[in-house]
Copies of this chain bind each other. A is one copy, B any other.
Amino acid sequence: MTVATKSLLSNCADCPIRHRAVCARCEADELAQLEEIKYYRSFEAGQTIVWSNDRMDFVASVVSGVATLTQTMEDGRTQMVGLLLPSDFVGRPGRKGAAYDIVATTDLIMCCFRKKPFEKMMIDTPHISHRLLEMTLDELDAAREWMLVLGRKTAREKIASLLNIVARRQPTFSPHGDVVFDLPLTREAMADYLGLTLETVSRQMSALRKAGIISLQGNRHVTVPDMARLMEAAGDDSDGGHLI
Contacts and interface: CB of A to CB of B under 8 A. Distances in A.
A150 interface: yes
Contacts of A99: 141, 144
A78 interface: yes
B146 A243 contact: no
Contacts of A194: 151
A190 to B, nearest CB: 12
A243 B71 CA distance: 16
A46 to B, nearest CB: 22
Interface string A219-244: 00000000000000001010001011
A120 interface: no
A203 interface: no
A82 B144 contact: yes
A137 interface: yes
A69 interface: yes
Interface string A117-149: 000001100100110111011011101111110
Contacts of A28: none
A49 B131 CA distance: 29
A79 B161 CA distance: 16
Contacts of A243: 53, 55, 96-97
A82 B145 CA distance: 11
Interface residues of A, number: 47
B71 A144 contact: yes
Contact of A143 (B53, B73, B143): B143
Contact of A129 (B77, B97, B130, B195): B130
A169 interface: no
B100 A150 contact: no
Contacts of A139: 140
B126 A79 contact: no
Interface of A: 53, 55, 69, 71, 73-75, 77-79, 81-82, 92, 94, 96-97, 99-100, 122-123, 126, 129-130, 132-134, 136-137, 139-141, 143-148, 150-152, 194-195, 235, 237, 241, 243-244
- Which 3 residue pairs are nearest across A and B when measured between Cβ atoms? A151-B195, A97-B243, A81-B144
18 contacts: A69-B144, A71-B144, A71-B147, A73-B148, A73-B152, A74-B237, A77-B152, A79-B148, A79-B151, A92-B137, A94-B137, A126-B126, A132-B133, A136-B136, A140-B140, A147-B147, A151-B194, A152-B195
